[in-house]
Amino acid sequence: MVTIYQAGTGGIYASSTVRLDSMAGFLFVVALIMYMGARPVSPEFGDTINYAMEFQTLQEGEAGNWKAQLTGMKGEWLFAAILHAWVQYGTVHDYFLTCAVVYVGALALSCYRLFGTRWFIPFLIACAMFTFWVYGVNGIRNGMAASVMILGLTFRSNLKMLFLCALLAIGLHKSMMLLAAAGACAWFVTDTRYYVVAWICCVLAVILAGPAIGEMIASSGFFDDPRLTLYINQADELKASSDLFSSVGFRWDFLLYSALPIVTGCYFLFREEYRDVMYTWLLNIYIAANAFWILCMYAAFSNRFAQLSWFLMGFVFIYPFFKQRFWADQEKKLACFIPVIYAFTFYMNIYNA
């Protein structure tokens, strides 16, 4: 509400406001990390209780057992290292606080690298996306990995740091290989029109073929991940076993939500003729990753596939507003735009709870 007021009164880009927001942003980040990381172990926070049970089991069975710790460091090795380090030397709350530091801190640093002193409002927009909280307390590994991957994407002009962050992100969660592949594709194929056409074709293909495409992906053997196969091939069984899967199927609401940054991106690129290499790259990565989710839409937990692209949504939405002036009354347009993109978050968390 404060941000909307700042934009509506025309002062959001003023240097004094930017300085104030930057200082307030630092306090907000610290408070958010503490609030998220110090949450109680409760089923109210989704998989938090399962992460805590895993932590307790390891702590009871592996105290001082470095052989067991080393055995766990495979595949998603970085997350295993964080987990086992706190198993040896800390508590479950130290563990969750560390996860929150990585998740929130890397995202805040990404905003600072992209927007400089204007970083806080874009960070706030990223936090306002409806899955932000969920991936801080429920899909913890995926959330941490995505923040580190986004941080890596900000090092477009420093390939060594980009590759290092990508390696660390994959070490936290293997799903980041999809974003890495999308980033590599978008590096060489830069025309957004190709991605938009491919995205539309994916939508049409899923409408016509239904879950068959996702089943083909799962059975291809290309993705060596048993979780992917489980979510796609056993979606109906999972749906029958729990209310959590009652929304398995074609999700028009998720599809329309996913299309919003594509529509706004095309507006800036083709109507306003906005040219920014970083913005085009991020938009193309978003579209490519979202197209993969569309193909797997009928899977159980399909929002987890969608989230691989949704992590970038806040950046794609807000980037042009803080990089270039397009209209004389841009601040007032921003004041209208922010509640529009927050509306889906409000709907999903209040009326669709």
Specify whether 122 is located in the same domain as 199. no
Inter-residue contact 122 to 319 (CB < 8 Å)? yes
Q: Which among 144, 131, 134 has a CA at the least distance from the CA of 172?
A: 144
Specify whether 196 is located in the same domain as 74. no
Specify whether 106 is located in the same domain as 29. yes
Specify whether 199 is located in the same domain as 146. no
> Which residue range(s) make up the domain with 221?
175-322
pLDDT for the residue numbered 202: 94
- Is pLDDT of 247 > 60? no
Q: Is residue 182 included in any domain, yes or no?
A: yes
Q: What is the pLDDT of residues 281-335, one digit of tens each?
A: 999 999 999 999 998 888 766 677 788 899 999 999 999 999 999 999 999 999 9
Specify whether 146 is located in the same domain as 264. no
DSSP-assigned letter for residue 243:
G
Q: Is residue 208 included in any domain, yes or no?
A: yes
14/135 Cα distance (integer angstroms)? 33
Specify whether 233 is located in the same domain as 277. yes
Helices (H), the chain: 2-8, 15-37, 48-62, 66-72, 77-89, 92-115, 120-127, 134-137, 140-153, 159-172, 176-188, 192-209, 212-219, 226-233, 235-241, 252-266, 277-295, 302-310, 313-318, 330-346
pLDDT class of 211 with cuts at 50, 70, 90:
confident
Q: Is residue 179 included in any domain, yes or no?
A: yes
Query: What's the number of domains the chain is made of?
Result: 2
Specify whether 8 is located in the same domain as 143. yes
Note the pTM of the prediction, 2 decimals. 0.90
Q: Is residue 328 included in any domain, yes or no?
A: no
Q: Is residue 254 included in any domain, yes or no?
A: yes
Specify whether 167 is located in the same domain as 239. no
Q: What are the residues whose beta carbons fall under 8 Å from the beta carbon of 23, sequence distance 6 or more?
A: none
